[in-house]
Amino acid sequence: MAITRKFKGTVQARAERDPEFRTAILRESIECMLAGDLKTGKALLRDYINAAVGFEKLSKLTKKDPKSLMRMFSATGNPTAANLFQVIRILQKKEGVRFVVRAVD
């Protein structure tokens, strides 16, 4: 089922006004990627970027072309680890959070 523009707009509006919701989207994105679900992880990260910072501002922070960033996080995009981790580092700083990875049994 395709997501409608109305639904995307609703999610974006909530993300703009609710820092905990933004943090949850960012965390879920990272968790999906760590679990091997890159498609969902990138989609969530793209939604987070659109709602929280925008590709133009992220472009200035990463010193990368905004269209290149959009391609990285598209359904067919394949960001390098260096680019992905740079973006995650910047987004964590912007959100005022720090995610850590720990082993669980």
Q: CA 92 to CA 105: how far, in whole Å?
A: 26
* pLDDT tens readout for residues 60-76: 999 999 999 999 999 89
Are the C-beta atoms of residues 23 and 97 closer than 8 Å to each other?
Answer: yes
Q: Where are the domains of the chain?
A: 5-95
8-12, 29-33, 51-55: segment of lowest average pLDDT: 8-12
pLDDT for residue 1 is more than 60 = no
pTM: 0.85
Instruction: Confirm if 57 and 87 have CB atoms less than 8 A apart.
Output: no
Q: What is the pLDDT of residue 20?
A: 92
pLDDT at position 73 is 93
Closest CA to 29 of 8, 46, 14, 50: 46
Q: Is the pLDDT assigned to residue 36 strictly greater than 70?
A: yes
